[in-house]
Amino acid sequence: MALPDRLARAVSTTAFRVAAVTVAVYLACAGLVVGLLLWQTNRVLTSQVLATLNAEAELLKAEAQEGDRAALIRAVEARGRPGGLGLYYLADKSGTKLAGNLSRLPPEIVGSPAGGVFRYAPDARSQSEHLAVAIPVDLGGGEQLIVGRDVEEQRRFASEMGTVYFLALGFLTLGGLVAGFAVSRVALKRIETINVAARSIMAGDMSRRIAVTGAGDEFDVLATNLNAMLERIEALMSGLREVSDNIAHDLKTPLTRLRNSAEAALRETGENAYREGLEHTIEKADELIKTFNSLLLVARLEAGALEENAERFDIGRAVRDVAELYEPVAEERGMGLIVKVESGPQFMGNRQLVVQAVANLIENAIKYSGKPGVNAGTAISIDLHNLADSVEICVADNGPGIAPQDRERVLKRFVRLEKSRTEPGTGLGLSLVQAVARLHGGAVRLEDNHPGLRVVLTLPKRD
């Protein structure tokens, strides 16, 4: 990229604009402060000059009132010595100059009772004029006396201060713009790093992440949050691919069976054969509908669509009711349910979903604890712990359990381990439990039961 393009891009950034506005505000404030200082300095100096002039005017007026004109002339001549800052002009009533170091009566002062500012030549050889301030003194009898002071040094001081002030403002402006440009370049470089990563991700590289410098600034916070978002998106994309694969794998078999049943019914003759084939087809179709309903429910839970259907209920009683429903199923497989749940704990949430989650956990424990008659006497324990800020529902069995490396994966949709594919199921049971937990702000933990598996459903209490 050419230098003019880089400059234009840096100048157009928000960081440069903010820096420019900051410099402008600072310069405006600095200009106001310096202007006030210059004005106050000039006012003080002017007040001092006027005070000096008034004091001299009173002294000379006193000389004139004593009636000795010669003494007044001598006093004026003595005060108007060459090289001094005092300026004087004494004339009689006809306008003839009597004394003083001014060559003429300043026309700016004539007719002005308060005095004023005028310019004069210090001597006949001088090519430049000086600035002076003078006031008229009323001596009576028609005589005219002008008392003034050379303020050229003050004017030069004010001019130099103004020059320094404007030079300082210029340097500050230039420095601020350079600093703004540098800041915008740094910000633009960090943003460009994010843009490069974003373009790479849009191109399909979902593993790309935004670099974190470790400075702990806003860009690092943004990069950290974006990386976390990308991790979540990558996990969702990976889950979507895995779900697609599992759907193709797990739904292909029942769909094939459904089609084979229909074909077998067509090949058979007789009303009973048709009826049996249709019943078998309906049974397989119901299984598929159940699978899709469970998938839809999990999706709605993850989207938070059922969060508003909350009510306060006795969670202990609800868990006990579910356990009672599964006691006959467990007895058929030669197992027993040990329920350690007391009624009473009140919980605010979706009762139907919590019951469904507990039912899935008990059903899984019964299903995978062993085959009917093989693990006779196996016990499945169901506990409820009423903690200070949450409720924990624990379902433990003595089955084969789940390896630690597979525990996080089995909570995803349609994930079924190889050793569990001999049992009927959709692979949505634990994912639904996980979705219910997330809907209520809770979590699901899978632990060793030595032997077997212990699933802990944690649901935080809320008002």
The pLDDT tens digits for 266-299 are 777 666 777 777 777 787 777 777 666 766 666 6
Give per-residue pLDDT as tens, 66-109.
Answer: 767 788 788 878 887 777 788 888 888 777 888 888 888 888 87
Our CA angle for 404, 405, 409, nearest 5°, is 110
Domain extents in the chain: 1-204, 218-302, 311-460
pLDDT of residue 426: 63
Percentage with pLDDT > 70 across the chain: 82
Q: How far is CA 224 from the centre of its chain?
A: 13
Our CA angle for 224, 228, 229, nearest 5°, is 115
- Summarize the confidence of residues 47-68 as an average pLDDT: 79
| DSSP-based three-state secondary structure for 73 | helix
**CATH placement of domain 1-204:** 3.30.450.20
In contact, 313 and 351? CB cutoff 8 Å: yes
pLDDT of residue 305: 55
pLDDT of residue 384: 92
pLDDT of residue 456: 93
pLDDT-derived band at 374, boundaries 50, 70, 90: very low
Residue in this structure with the two tokens 């809320």, named with its chain if needed: 462
Report which listed range, 187-191, 286-290, 310-314, is most confident: 310-314
pLDDT of residue 295: 63
| DSSP-based three-state secondary structure for 375 | coil
CA separation for the pair 92, 143 (Å, rounded) = 4
In contact, 433 and 361? CB cutoff 8 Å: yes
- Summarize the confidence of residues 156-185 as an average pLDDT: 79
Whole-model pTM: value is 0.48
pLDDT of residue 373: 46
Token code pair at residue 330: 């467990």
pLDDT of residue 457: 92
Q: Which of 167-171, 244-248, 256-260, 378-382 has the lowest mean pLDDT?
A: 244-248
pLDDT of residue 130: 85
DSSP string, 76-112: HHHHT-TT-SEEEEEE-TT--EEE-S-SS--TTTTT-
CA separation for the pair 71, 357 (Å, rounded) = 120
In contact, 347 and 356? CB cutoff 8 Å: no
Cα separations (Å) of 104 from 66, 121, 135, 304?
A: 26, 10, 15, 98
Identity of residue 86: G
CA separation for the pair 446, 30 (Å, rounded) = 66
Of 321, 395, 313, whose CA–CA distance to 350 is shortest? 313
Work out the widest C-alpha separation in the chain, in whole angstroms.
158
Of 438, 10, 346, whose CA–CA distance to 186 is shortest? 10
Q: Under CATH, what is the fold of the domain 311-460?
A: Heat Shock Protein 90 (3.30.565)
> Which CATH code of 1.10.287, 3.10.20, 3.30.420, 1.10.10 fits the domain covering 218-302?
1.10.287
Q: Do domains 1-204 and 218-302 have the same CATH topology?
A: no
pLDDT at 394 over 90: yes
Cα separations (Å) of 394 from 82, 161, 338, 416?
A: 110, 83, 11, 22
pLDDT at 222 over 70: yes
Token code pair at residue 445: 């933990």
